[in-house]
Structure 1
């Protein structure tokens, strides 16, 4: 498992190289830039931190920008850097949330701010413990994919925190979110669970919950948007990663889910989703 080594803070000076890959926000603007430094990769999060990654090494070195707190660095490491390394090493990690139901684990993927974490929290609120809030780590075992638990906290916006009625663990100065610790009213699943289905969240245009099964080719197109790739120029690893995603799309049911994005609709939505999971688990 990758470890994080934090160095002293430093300013982000201009780099001699041009990025070979970038992450951008849906509304525009950079999230991160990927640079080569010899055999290493420097992943720069502007105004946040530089992460030095040596493929094959278990150590990631971080140089934060002055004034950035450790919680922010930890969040970036666990939710961005670590899944990159999981996939680069031959594992499988997707961007999304998941919870455990009596019928198996269910996962939610979708675009940024589509409601993935809110839905996982709503599931936990009524007794279906959450497994992860941002990274879905999967391991194939026997004839099933298992969802591996991540950190026992949910990072949500303030209105969702108020809905879930949890004491806030702390404010995050770099991201407009608060962290909610797991507890009696927000249970966390500490053991892996077999994956029953992956729900692809829609745009919130439906007035009532809609469930539409996706064919494998459409499922593959969806999850390719939510995977983590460290080196887009490493063709052999890209092919292997594509094959792992293809196997997932063939072996696990994918369902397009759309619903009304209002908090008063969440209890009935969760009930409908869990019932859908029951039908697929049996």
Structure 2
């Protein structure tokens, strides 16, 4: 008889966490300081859901906080830079990503990326892919102090949530690395975001039988007719009171799904 599964830090218990039903997950990582913490939940995701194939796209600004080499080592395939190739390449990355993805998460999403996506700009492969895919999309913003209350952000969020298949997950109050106060806005915990996205694609509790063939690609799915609304959208100007732990220079310890999410400093 085998012992209980262990988390990346050696603790037992994550063996009880069910795997995702998703089989092809595209994650776009943008240039927030919280991108530096993506390897922690991503490692846990690979532990609890090894059958979920993950592809990562990093914006140029994201590479200031985390390397494609590190993330590629975790997911077992190369992380792609969100830029057009300098030389002619066979195929088109944006078409490949749009048709391959079963679901898409933008995590974390900066205000800049949020705005470009909301305005329909398509100046990078990831943006063009997200505009053209039929896969459900979840956007998890990470914003500086005052960002979530900004009328500009509210307009972008409203525009995105009117689109079929797009959901914006409200950020959570967190410690700002600049002000030292709990007035920054960090993305919701990644595993929670992915669980919710998984439930949107596969509402049933158990994954359907049949392996990867039971999970049609975006190109094989019908176009969604209506988009979900923002969940837990706080009123403009409202900032829930929290007593977050002080931000430190060291990286947080890996977490399990039963642990509270670490308090991560935002980049502004």
TM over 0.5: no
Q: What TM-score results when the alignment is normalised by the length of structure 2?
A: 0.22
Structure number with the bigger relative contact order (C-alpha 8 A, sep ≥ 6) is 2
Q: What TM-score results when the alignment is normalised by the length of structure 1?
A: 0.22
Bigger fraction of residues in strand? 1
